[in-house]
Amino acid sequence: MQPWRLITNSSSNAFYNMAVDEAIMILHSKNEVPPTLRFYSWKPAALSLGYFQKTKKEIDYQNCQKEGIDLVRRLTGGRAILHDRELTYSLIIREDYKLLANSIEKSYQQISRGLVSGLQQLGIPAELKAVERGKKAPLGHSAACFDAPSWYEVILDNKKLIGSAQRRKNGTILQHGSLPLTMNAEKIFKLLNYSSEEQRKKARRTFSLKSTSLKKAGYNFSHSELENAIAAGLAQVLGIELEKSKLTEAENELAKKLASEKYKSQNWNFKR
């Protein structure tokens, strides 16, 4: 297998971040760029919605604007994530490479094993959420992603540490996920709609019990330390070779177009 690209130290707004992931996915599906592992962060902070979420029903857009929080819909499923002080990863590879399982659940497990391996190299005792026989995967009780870890997600102290989502399109896999360095539950739940303040408080309490961040767990690592360790963990578990690189001119141009015409548009972000 050809070496993968490793792209690091990128900080952009929500619209460009999501556009870059899709641009890589499109051009990799055409075999114009290699499989890619990318790390990035968000500036300014943003709330990303899962592809199927109902914006007006679930999100308080006025509060997002008031708090200076960008709102963007992801290409992937799942629930809302507040991206603030965090490290985000994305992994893109065509299915015909046959590196990841055909099953979304099994491929999710493979990637999570790599994430866990990387965190453990830093002395963080992360684990995979084990499947409990006879039980359905936890679905959570709110519009927020981190309120319950599902099977094979990365946990720490039995709390969800990394929230990930996957999309398969045109024979290509995109998985991206959020590793919070810190987490502000109060801020997150200001941005979500509830029928009463009591419901909001109850959801926030559950979220605080079921989720964690590196700082909450007592760890303080830089982006570069986390990137290096997680890249090494994924390379080891998946059996791949990584070479540092950057986006091509074609990817940059496509990402700018997607950011402007799709990810910034009300049609996309309020399509449901």
Residue 192 identity: L
Single-letter code of the amino acid located at 60: D
Catalytic residue among 145, 179, 203, 235: 145
d(CA 166, CA 102): 12
Residue 122: exposure state from Cβ atoms within 10 A (0-12, 13-18, ≥19): middle
Query: Residue 145 catalytic?
Result: yes
Q: Which fold has domain 4-269?
A: BirA Bifunctional Protein; domain 2 (3.30.930)
Among residues 47, 50, 40, 79, the alpha carbon closest in space to that of 65 is found at 47
Read off the pTM: 0.92
The token duo for 61 is: 């857009």
- What crossing angle do the helices spanning 104-121 and 223-238 adopt, rounded to 10°? 130
Q: pLDDT in tens for each of the 272 residues of the chain?
A: 789 999 997 899 999 999 999 999 999 999 999 999 999 999 999 999 999 999 999 999 999 999 999 999 999 999 999 999 999 999 999 999 999 999 988 999 999 999 999 999 999 999 998 765 655 555 555 555 555 556 789 999 999 999 999 999 999 999 999 999 999 989 999 999 999 999 999 999 999 999 999 999 999 999 999 999 999 999 999 999 999 999 999 999 999 999 999 999 999 999 99
Q: Do 12 and 72 form a contact (C-beta atoms < 8 A)?
A: no
